[in-house]
Structure 1
Amino acid sequence: MSDARFGRSGPIAGPGVGRHLLIVDDDDRIRELLKEYLAREGYRVTGAAHASAARRLLELIEFDLVVLDIMMPGEDGLSLTGWVRSKARLSNTPVLLLTARGEPTDRIRGLEQGADDYMSKPFDPRELALRIDAILRRAGVKPVAPREIRLGPVMFDMERLELTREGAPLRLTEAEAQLLKTLALNAHAPVERMALSPDKADITGRAVDVQVTRLRRKLEVDPKNPRYLQTVRGVGYMLAPDS
C-alpha cells in the first residue's frame, strides 16, 4: 500500500468532517496508516483488530461506514458483513471490503453478503478515500447535529466551544472543550475511551479520565454520581444530554 501522502502536516477540512468510520484489519500497520490518512481527510476513525472487537463497537456506537478486511484470524470479514446486514439497526451501514483476495468469485461472495464496494490489496489510500466518499454520498446527507446541547442548567455551544450555566460562562480548557464536543457529536452513544485521547502516547487513557473528572465538576450536580457524562464499562464514556 502506498503511503506517500501520510507525511502531510496538520489536519484538513476534508469530505469526512462529521463522519465516523470503523476500520477492521488484523494488520496493525495497515490499520494505523488508514486511521492516520483518513483522519487527515476529516474523518473520525476507530480501529478494531478482529471481528469480535468490531462487533462490540458496532453494538455500542453508530458508524457511518465500515472498512473491513476479509482475511482475519477467527471470524472472517464475509461472516461479519453478513452479521451487520442481519441487524436491523446496522442494516443500512455501508461496508467496504478490503482484502488480499482478488479473485472474481471472492468479490461476488462479498457483494452477495451485502458489501457496498470491494478493494483488493495492495491499494492506494487516495482511491480508498474517494470510494468512501462516493459510498457516503450515495447513502445520503448525514443529519446536521444541533449547534447547542442542554445538560440541565448547563448549555454547550459546539461551534463556539462555550459552556454556560444559566447564562453565566464556565471556563473550559482546550482539551476539555474538544473532548466535550466529541462526546456531544456522538450524544447518547458510547465513545471508545482511546478515541477520545488526542495524545497517542497516552496508551493508558489516563489523560482522558482526568479530563472527564474535571468536566463532571462543571456539568454535574453530583460529580460522583453523574447524570450526563456517563461511564460505559469496558468501552469509554457517553454524553446523555436533555436535548
Structure 2
Amino acid sequence: MDADEFWICATCGVEHARRPDVCAICDDERQWVPADGQRWTTLADLAEGGTTIDVVEAEPDLYHIRTRPPVGIGQWSKLVRTRAGNLLWDPPGYIDDAATAAVADLGGVAFVVASHPHMFGVQIEWSRAFGGVPVLVAEADLGWVERTDRCIRPWSDDVEILPGITLTQPGGHFPGSAVAHWAAGVDGRGVLLAGDTVYANPDRRSVSFMRSIPNHLPLSGAVAERIAAHVTRFAFDRLYSLRGGLIDESASSIVRTSAARHSAWARGDFDHLT
C-alpha cells in the first residue's frame, strides 16, 4: 500500500492506516467481530461491489447521507447547512465522486465530526474531498483513531463550531461521546443530532442510554440521568439518532422522562412487574 491507501473494517466501516489482525473498535464489548473472523475492504472494493450514496433531504437545511447497501454499521450521516458553512456529522464509511459532487452542490463541508469512534467512517477521506477541512475528534477518544492526519483536531467541553451549531460531550457510550445541537432546526425550536449517545427507540416516544446497543449493555441509571441533564441544557424539539432513529416532537421532554424511567428500572422500582 502507498501512503494514500488504507483499509476499511467491513463490520464498523472505520478507516485504518494498516490492517491489523482484528479491528480494535470491533474487538470491544460495545461492538463485535463476525463469527467467521475479521474482514477488511477498500473504497475500490466497495465501488466494484456497487456501493453508492444517497443524499436525501430530511428537513430544510438538514440532509441524510446513506450508503447503499449499508457500509459497516450503516449510520445515516447528516449534513447540516448554515450560511457560514456545513457540518458533516457521523461521516459514512464510503465516499465517491458522485457523493462529493452532491454534497458540494449543497455548499460542501466546513467540519467533519463523529459522535463517537464507531462513527468515524472514512472521515479523513471526506475531509480531503473538501480541501482538508478540520476533522474534530473528542479529546477523550483520540486513542481510538486508527488513521491519523493533520486535519484531525481534538476538542472538548462545549464548542460552537458554526453559528447556531454547538458540539457538546455528555459521554456515556464512550467517554467522549458527543451530540450536536442545531439551534435553528425545526423553525427555531432546535434539533439534537445524537448519534447513539442518546438512542431514539422504535416507539418514537422514548430513548435509550446504552453502553452497547448490539450487545444490549445498558448504562447505569445515574449516567442516564447525567446525560439527560447535560443535553437538555439546550432547547430542541426533534432528535435524530443512529440510522433512521427519530423523535419528531417534544424530544427534550422525552429525553428527561426516558432517563427517569431508565433510572427507576435500574434501581428496581418495577421489579414487581418481572
TM-score (norm 2): 0.31
For the pair shown, the structure with the greater C-alpha radius of gyration is 1
* Structure holding more strand per residue: 2
TM-score by length of 1: 0.34
Q: Please identify which structure carries the higher helix content.
A: 1
